[in-house]
């Protein structure tokens, strides 16, 4: 009975009735709380960011607000809403078809969630001028502040709700960047004391297998992850490290491949080419022949080229829906029957769904993962570790969740950057047990916590949603993390 929402006691948080989503076409289930969908123009005139906001099922007038960013850069956050964490999700995560069930483990049990498709061309977001598709960590900070100022102006009652920023993968870089940007804004508001300006109710952020320090991740510690997984012999591992072999992601620093690093790399690849880099316990359909860092001709290339064909498997989308040149097209839902359901991607591209979500016609197709956004993004050279250190004295709470079988953003890499933080240990390495099952481990450093999810990879935040959301909820409600 927890899903019954008496309208006479449920408060409306909305000042934008034109963004209200009364129902979802093709979904034979009632929405269990109020949903809103629309666009805000950000700092560049042609850039429009799309959002989906779903109110808490419990107490929307006081429950925390979570702002969620997917990774990439270029992955659509709304895929996460409909695939994993919304109140209504696809029935089968492997097939990702538009058959729907009520999600008893939704994030919206005790939080209102704002899913933002970022940057331009991800999801329904778009830029009408090609030059505005070029983005960076710096431009993201400006864009997200512009977006949230407009959003909170339209939903002013949310100033009373605790605010947490959540991100996975490169979204784990967006989360601290957003927190830092809002913190800077809040300091300005308090200093100027101008009537009508309000500080954001920011309490902290949560990153999951997030990009944090380019000297340890992504990919720098991949060889360490394979070694600790038992896939690489000690002699080969020592040879790699003794020579100082390094290849950096997205060219943020010059590669270091002296001596016989290429030969060592070829030997390592022969041993691990069959392993899925996002989860070492899964297999690639075919071994990666070109290696983790080479293009097959002895040239070292950007890691983007190596993970390009793996992104869709990361999001559990079948091959027949994974071709980025086939991002879907507007079509009526009636073209499919119950025997032949639409894929989630095709459903999001139906005319009826786009109308229900108030999608601007200028954005013709929903883009699950945008190559344009990915290749037009420029990462900051320092990533986001510095933000943890600077925000801690201000009382913000920070959590990093790590699936421990991820090789691209690995637990050894996380240990590397955590050791650089001057945080005292307040809880040692402690097993996290649910029932009779080991979920992972927790280590706390004052207001920062490392949480591992044992036996899961890059998408631990999504696939272990019951256990992981439980600890996220305790974190957001200032409860002890482990019962």
> Is 305's pLDDT higher than 70?
no
The upper half-sphere exposure of residue 429, i.e. CA atoms within 13 Å in the direction of its Cβ, equals 3
Average pLDDT over residues 46-50: 88
| Same domain flag for 79 and 138 | yes
Its pTM surpasses 0.85 = yes
Cβ atoms of 249 and 219 within 8 Å: the answer is yes
Question: Do 401 and 281 belong to one domain?
Answer: no
| Measured distance CA(115)–CA(205) in Å, rounded | 15
pLDDT of 3 strictly over 50 = no
Question: Are 57 and 5 spatial neighbours (Cβ–Cβ below 8 Å)?
Answer: yes
Helices (H), 45-170: 77-80, 137-154
Residues 6+ apart with CB under 8 A from 215: 416, 417
406, 310 contact by CB (below 8 A) = no
pLDDT score, position 292:
52
Task: Please determine, for residue 308, whether its predicted confidence score (pLDDT) is greater than 50.
Answer: no
Q: Examine the fold and report which residue of 266, 286, 314 is the final residue of a domain before the chain moves on.
A: 314
Chain segment 155-193, per-residue pLDDT in tens: 999 999 999 999 999 999 999 999 999 999 999 998 888
> Residue range 380-390: average pLDDT?
90
pLDDT at 1 over 90: no
Structure tokens at 321: 């829906």
Please give the pLDDT value at position 299. Answer: 41
Q: For residue range 321-372, list pLDDT tens digits in order.
A: 333 333 334 444 444 444 668 999 999 999 999 999 999 776 778 988 888 8
Report the range of poorest mean pLDDT among 108-122, 214-228, 292-306, 463-477: 292-306
- The verdict on residue 26 lying in a domain is yes
Select from 426, 308, 454 the least CA-distant residue to 375.
308
- Which carries the bigger pLDDT value, residue 262 or residue 297? 262
Sign (positive or negative) of CA dihedral 276, 230, 462, 387: negative
- Assigned token pair, 69: 């960013």
Q: What is the pLDDT of residue 4?
A: 40
Q: Which two tokens mark 323?
A: 């071709």
Tokens of 423: 């945080």
Rounded distance between C-alpha atoms, residue 428 and residue 424, angstroms: 10
Contact 293, 300 (CB under 8 A): yes
C-alpha span between 477 and 109 (Å, rounded): 13
CB within 8 Å of 427: residues ≥ 6 apart: 442, 443, 444
Give the pLDDT mean for 92-114: 93
Whether residues 233 and 146 share a domain: the answer is: no
Domain end marker among 290, 314, 338: 314
CATH of the domain at 49: 3.40.50.1820
Q: CA 101, 107, 113 angle in degrees (round to 5)?
A: 110
Say if residues 418 and 213 touch (Cβ distance below 8 Å). Answer: no
Determine whether 25 is exposed, middle or buried from the number of CB atoms within 10 Å of its CB (0-12, 13-18, 19+): middle
Same domain, 207 and 264: no
442 domain-assigned: yes
Whether 75 is covered by a domain: the verdict is: yes
209 and 226 together in one domain: no
Q: Note the pLDDT of residue 110.
A: 95
Q: Which of 397, 447, 450 is nearest to 419 (CA)?
A: 450
Tell me the per-residue pLDDT of 86-100, one tens digit each, with 9 for 90 and over.
999 999 988 898 899
Indicate whether 24 pLDDT > 90. Answer: yes
Q: Mean pLDDT over residues 460-472, rounded? A: 92
Q: Are residues 181 and 250 in the same domain?
A: no
Q: Is pLDDT above 60 for 154?
A: yes
Instruction: Give me the pLDDT at residue 394, please.
Output: 96
Last residue of a domain, one of 283, 314, 345: 314
Q: What is the pLDDT of residues 195-235, one digit of tens each?
A: 778 999 999 999 999 999 998 888 889 999 999 999 999 99
Task: Concatenate the DSSP letters of all residues of 316-350 into one string.
Answer: T--GGG--TT-------GGGS-TTSPPBHHHHHTS
Q: 78 CB contacts (<8 Å, ≥6 apart)? A: 50, 52, 115, 117, 123, 124, 348, 366
Look at residue 347 and tell me if it is in a domain: no
pLDDT band at 283 (very low <50, low <70, confident <90, very high): confident
Predicted local distance difference test score (pLDDT) of residue 44:
72
Q: Both tokens of residue 147?
A: 């977006």
Which residues touch 170 (CB under 8 Å, ≥6 apart)? 71, 72, 73, 210, 211
Q: What is the mean pLDDT of the chain?
A: 85
The reply to whether 56 and 194 lie within a common domain is yes
Say if residue 69 is in the same domain as residue 197. yes
Q: H helices of 215-330, where?
A: 222-228, 234-242, 261-272, 303-307, 311-314
Does 169 share its domain with 271? Answer: no
Q: Are residues 211 and 291 in the same domain?
A: no
Residue of 15 and 438 predicted with greater confidence: 438
pLDDT at position 149 is 96
- Residues 269 and 400 placed together within one structural domain of the fold: no
pLDDT at 460 over 60: yes
Residue 122's domain comprises 17-215+379-476
Closest CA to 210 of 258, 166, 178: 166
Query: CA-to-CA distance for 51 and 67, rounded, in angstroms?
Result: 10
Residue 330 covered by a domain? no
Q: Is the pLDDT of residue 260 over 60?
A: yes
Give the residue carrying structure tokens 């490392």. Answer: 450
Give the mean model confidence (pLDDT) for residues 132-153: 90
What is the largest distance, in Å, between two alpha-carbon atoms of the chain? 73
Do strands 47-54 and 35-41 pair parallel, antiparallel, or not at all (unpaired)?
Answer: antiparallel
Average pLDDT over residues 18-43: 93
Is residue 310 scored above 50 in pLDDT?
no
Q: Examine residue 3 and state whether it is found in any structural domain, yes or no.
A: no
pLDDT of residue 134: 86
pLDDT the model gives residue 32: 87
Residues 21, 152 share a domain? yes
User: How far apart, in Å, do the first and last CA atoms of the chain sit?
Assistant: 26
Q: How high is the pLDDT of residue 382?
A: 82
**Is 258 within a domain?**
yes
Q: What is the pLDDT of residues 413-433, one digit of tens each?
A: 999 999 999 999 999 999 999
What secondary structure, in 3-state letters, does 149-165 show? HHHHHHCHHHHHCCEEE
DSSP string of 364-423, one letter each residue:
-S-BSB-HHHHHTEE--TTTTHHHHHHHGGGT-EEEEEEETT-SSS-HHHHHHHHTTS-P
Phi, psi of 175 (to 5 degrees): -60, -55
Please give the tally of structural domains in the chain.
Answer: 2
Contact 421, 389 (CB under 8 A): yes
């Amino acid at each position: 009975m927890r899903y019954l929402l008496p309208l006479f006691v449920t408060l409306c948080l909305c000042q934008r009735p034109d963004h209200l989503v009364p129902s979802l076409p093709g979904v034979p289930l009632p929405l269990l709380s109020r949903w809103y969908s629309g666009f805000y123009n950000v700092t560049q005139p042609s850039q429009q960011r799309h959002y989906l906001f779903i109110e808490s099922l419990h107490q929307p007038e006081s429950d925390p607000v979570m702002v969620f960013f997917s990774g990439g850069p270029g992955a659509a956050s709304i895929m996460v809403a409909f695939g994993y964490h919304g109140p209504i999700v696809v029935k089968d995560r492997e097939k990702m078809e538009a058959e729907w069930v009520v999600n008893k483990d939704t994030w919206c049990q005790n939080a209102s969630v704002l899913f933002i498709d970022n940057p331009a061309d991800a999801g329904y977001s778009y830029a009408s001028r090609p030059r505005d598709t070029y983005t960076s960590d710096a431009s993201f900070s400006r864009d997200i502040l512009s977006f949230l100022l407009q959003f909170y102006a339209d939903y002013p009652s949310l100033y009373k709700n605790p605010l947490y920023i959540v991100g996975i993968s490169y979204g784990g870089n967006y989360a601290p960047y957003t927190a830092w940007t809002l913190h800077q804004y809040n300091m300005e508001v308090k200093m100027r004391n101008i009537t009508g300006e309000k500080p954001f109710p920011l309490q902290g952020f949560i990153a999951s297998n997030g990009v944090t320090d380019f000297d340890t991740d992504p990919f720098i510690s991949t060889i360490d992850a394979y070694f600790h997984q038992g896939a690489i012999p000690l002699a080969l591992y020592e040879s790699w490290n003794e020579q100082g072999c390094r290849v950096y992601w997205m060219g943020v620093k010059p590669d270091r491949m002296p001596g016989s690093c290429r030969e060592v790399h070829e030997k390592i690849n022969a041993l691990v080419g069959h392993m899925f880099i996002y989860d070492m316990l899964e297999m690639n359909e075919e071994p990666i022949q070109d290696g983790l860092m080479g293009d097959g001709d002895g040239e070292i290339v950007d890691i983007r080229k190596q993970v390009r064909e793996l992104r869709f498997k990361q999001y559990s989308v079948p091959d027949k829906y994974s071709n980025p040149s086939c991002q879907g097209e507007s079509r009526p839902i009636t073209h499919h029957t119950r025997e032949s359901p639409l894929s989630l991607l095709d459903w999001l591209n139906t005319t009826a769904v786009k109308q229900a979500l108030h999608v601007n016609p200028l954005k013709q197709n929903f883009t699950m993962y945008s190559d344009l956004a990915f290749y037009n993004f420029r990462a900051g050279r320092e990533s986001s570790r510095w933000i943890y250190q600077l925000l801690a004295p201000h009382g913000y709470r920070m959590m990093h969740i790590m699936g421990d079988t991820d090789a691209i953003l690995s637990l050894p890499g996380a240990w590397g950057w955590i050791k650089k933080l001057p945080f005292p240990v307040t809880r040692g390495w402690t097993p996290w047990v649910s029932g009779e099952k080991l979920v992972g481990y927790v280590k706390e450093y004052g207001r920062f916590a490392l949480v591992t999810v044992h036996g899961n990879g890059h998408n631990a935040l999504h696939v272990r949603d019951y256990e992981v959301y439980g600890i996220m909820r305790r974190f957001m409600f200032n409860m002890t993390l482990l019962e």
